[in-house]
């Protein structure tokens, strides 16, 4: 008498027989991410040091991870400490270095007469979807291609916090934050800060996501839109038709419990203060960081307490 075969076993065997045709193949990490890592390494854009060290490959879960991660505890030849070591990909390091050198430090010298010596961060690599929603599109954090900056430390020990100082009307701290946010838009493809949505009220999200190209260069998302006097003139068009506008999900980061302080529901009005004139009398004054012309929702804030990024 023939032995009966379980229908479940038959079904499983049928599925396995299709795996050679790709039916059960796992999703693969987009090729451009690997190319970006390898190009960065080939061009020697990152020099390993005691504060920037290569780490083991991160492979999964799923397509999360990166082939050549770096553990970073300080930047700018170890002159700018990171308050907690972060894991990021190769390309993020020169982007952060150039932002510090070309935007953050000159603005700090103009506003405060001293350099920034530390970054306070909420996190970098974390295998999660946007807003930690199950099934959502993966965040750039899932590929080590993003970092969340919550504040800056000055050489004299003062701290400048996004959550506390972004909306301090008529303050040097607010002016500094608005200006370094605008500067970041020239170095990263995604920059989100207070006013971008209710989730970015307490940090600057910086990443190098690939949004495509336009007739003036890489497509960049910078929200809220900086004041016109804080951004350089647009690049000269290359003669090709402009790329159509697209709308894609933006990353949402988490914050540390207790980090959110009571905030006014209305942002500063009028001009931010001019630079303090006592540091270099011979230098022409830096124009103030105006806040007029912000999007209608620029002052939306949130006081939701949520968990910190891994």
pLDDT score of 300: 29
Give mean pLDDT, residues 4-21.
43
Amino acid 134: pLDDT: 65
pLDDT at 230: 85
| Residue appearing with tokens 């500067």 | 183
To the nearest 10 degrees (0 to 180), the angle between helices 92-99 and 172-184 is: 140
Given a cut of 80, whether residue 165 has pLDDT beyond it is: yes
Bridge partners for 88 per DSSP = 70
Predicted confidence at residue 44, as pLDDT, reads 95
Confidence of residue 296 (pLDDT cuts 50, 70, 90): very low
- pLDDT of residue 280 exceeding 80, the answer is no
Question: What was the pLDDT predicted at 30?
Answer: 85
Instruction: Classify burial at 167, counting beta carbons within 10 Å of its beta carbon; exposed 0-12, middle 13-18, buried 19 or more.
Output: buried
Instruction: Please report the pLDDT score of residue 248 as a whole number.
Output: 57
Q: Read off the pLDDT band of 244 (50, 70, 90).
A: low
Max avg pLDDT among 5-14, 30-39, 142-151, 216-225: 142-151
What pLDDT sits at residue 130?
67
Query: pLDDT digits over 37-95, tens only?
Result: 999 999 999 999 999 999 999 998 889 999 999 999 999 999 999 999 999 999 999 99
Q: What is the pLDDT of residue 262?
A: 31
Instruction: Tell me the whole-structure pTM to 2 decimals.
Output: 0.71
Q: Say what the pLDDT of residue 220 is.
A: 85
| pLDDT score of 98 | 97
CA 206 to chain CA centroid, Å, is 1
Q: Give residue 135's pLDDT.
A: 67
137-141, 253-257, 304-308: least confidently modelled range: 304-308
Q: Range with the lowest mean pLDDT among 69-78, 103-112, 238-247, 259-268?
A: 259-268
pLDDT at 179 over 50: yes
């Amino acid at each position: 008498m023939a032995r009966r075969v379980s229908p479940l076993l038959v079904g499983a065997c049928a599925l396995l027989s299709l795996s050679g045709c790709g039916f059960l193949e796992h999703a693969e990490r987009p090729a451009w991410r690997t190319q970006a890592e390898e190009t960065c390494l080939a061009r020697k854009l990152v020099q390993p040091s005691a504060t920037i060290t290569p780490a083991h490959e991160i492979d999964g879960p799923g397509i999360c991870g990166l082939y050549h991660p770096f553990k970073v505890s300080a930047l700018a030849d170890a002159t700018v400490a990171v308050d907690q070591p972060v894991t990021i990909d190769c390309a993020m390091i020169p982007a952060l270095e150039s932002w510090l050198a070309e935007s953050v430090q000159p603005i700090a010298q103009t506003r405060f007469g001293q350099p920034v010596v530390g970054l306070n961060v909420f996190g970098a690599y974390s295998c999660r979807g946007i807003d930690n929603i199950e099934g959502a599109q993966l965040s750039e954090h899932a590929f080590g291609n993003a970092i969340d900056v919550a504040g800056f430390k000055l050489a004299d020990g003062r701290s400048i916090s996004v959550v506390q100082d972004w909306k301090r009307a008529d303050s040097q701290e607010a002016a500094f934050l608005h200006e370094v946010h605008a500067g970041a838009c020239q170095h990263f493809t995604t920059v989100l800060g207070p006013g971008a949505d209710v989730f970015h009220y307490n940090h600057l999200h910086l990443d190098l996501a690939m949004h495509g190209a336009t007739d003036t260069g890489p497509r960049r998302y910078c929200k809220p839109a900086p004041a016109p006097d804080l951004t350089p003139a647009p690049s000269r068009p290359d003669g090709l038709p402009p790329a159509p506008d697209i709308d894609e999900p933006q990353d949402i980061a988490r914050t540390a419990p207790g980090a959110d302080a009571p905030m006014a529901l209305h942002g500063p009005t009028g001009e931010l203060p001019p630079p303090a004139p006592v540091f270099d009398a011979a230098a022409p004054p830096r124009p103030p960081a105006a806040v007029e012309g912000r999007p209608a929702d620029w002052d939306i804030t949130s006081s939701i307490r949520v968990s910190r990024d891994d």
